[in-house]
């Protein structure tokens, strides 16, 4: 699968690009989502760490277990605008970790917009979706096709609501897990919003490649 690239070792691709990336574990399973940005012969990663401090990073600390797929939803000519947006978000955002997404987004100035009670609650993948929707000014994926059934951690909703002083009824609609595997598979498509069935159609191929790479 030549389109899926090991970020740390690939040196031959000279053009600027934005890519969807992931870190894989020893079994080849993606466990963390990142953006990979190549601009002016420099390669950066941009991601939400899930930590309370230094939560959003824009750096060159590329891991050997990082793989990426270039997305054609962002033209190379507008990469400078994307980088400016990323740095604005890094300055202004205050995300907290949780398995939720319901169409929230960051705008070009780094401001966060939401309609649901959940606000800036997101995973690393959800963070990427917030960025993509804001930059592209439309939903990147058809997120409603993922439901709470995609995240089956026992009593997760109630525990999260209790911990943060929320009502379960107010956040249940936003509860879903869109995985790092889902996100990197989405990079094979460019007609927005990307459908879950299209993403699912690439998962076996991508998983097998990552397992043996």
pLDDT for 163 equals 95
pLDDT for 2 equals 59
Band (pLDDT 50/70/90 cuts) for residue 152 is: confident
Residue 207: CB atoms within 10 A of its CB come to: 17
pLDDT in tens, 37-89: 999 999 999 999 999 889 999 999 999 999 999 999 999 999 999 999 999 99
pLDDT in tens, 102-138: 999 999 999 999 988 899 999 999 999 999 999 999 9
- Residue 33 pLDDT greater than 70, yes or no: yes
Residue 167: CB atoms within 10 A of its CB come to: 9
How far apart, in whole angstroms, are the C-alpha atoms of residue 18 and residue 72? Answer: 8
Q: What is the DSSP letter of 145?
A: G
The whole-model pTM stands at: 0.96
Q: DSSP 3-state assignment of 128?
A: helix
pLDDT in tens, 136-151: 999 999 999 999 888 9
HSE toward the beta carbon, residue 157, CA cutoff 13 A: 19
**Domain range summary for the chain, segments of one domain joined by +:** 4-211
Q: Which CATH class is domain 4-211?
A: alpha beta
The per-residue DSSP string of 12-63 comes to: ---S-EEEEEEEE-TTS-EEEEEEEEEETTEEEEEEE---SSS-EEEE----
How far apart, in whole angstroms, are the C-alpha atoms of residue 101 and residue 112? Answer: 13
């Amino acid at each position: 699968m030549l389109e899926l690239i090991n970020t740390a070792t690939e040196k031959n691709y000279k053009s600027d690009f934005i890519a969807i990336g992931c870190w894989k574990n020893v079994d080849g399973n993606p466990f963390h989502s990142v953006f990979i940005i190549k601009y002016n012969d420099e390669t950066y990663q941009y991601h939400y760490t899930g930590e309370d401090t230094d939560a959003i990073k824009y750096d060159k600390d590329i891991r050997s277990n990082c793989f990426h797929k270039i997305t054609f939803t962002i033209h190379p000519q507008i990469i400078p605008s994307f980088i400016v947006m990323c740095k604005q978000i890094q300055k202004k955002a205050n995300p907290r970790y949780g398995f939720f997404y319901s169409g929230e987004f960051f705008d070009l100035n780094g401001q966060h917009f939401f309609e649901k009670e959940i606000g800036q609650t997101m995973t690393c993948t959800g963070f990427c979706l917030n960025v993509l929707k804001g930059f592209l000014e439309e939903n990147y994926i058809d997120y409603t096709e993922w439901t709470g059934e995609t995240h089956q951690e026992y009593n997760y909703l109630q525990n999260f609501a209790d911990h943060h002083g929320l009502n379960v009824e107010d956040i249940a609609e936003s509860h879903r897990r869109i995985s790092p595997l889902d996100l990197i598979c989405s990079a094979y498509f460019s007609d927005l919003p990307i459908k879950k069935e299209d993403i699912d159609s690439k998962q076996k191929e991508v998983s097998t490649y990552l397992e043996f790479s």
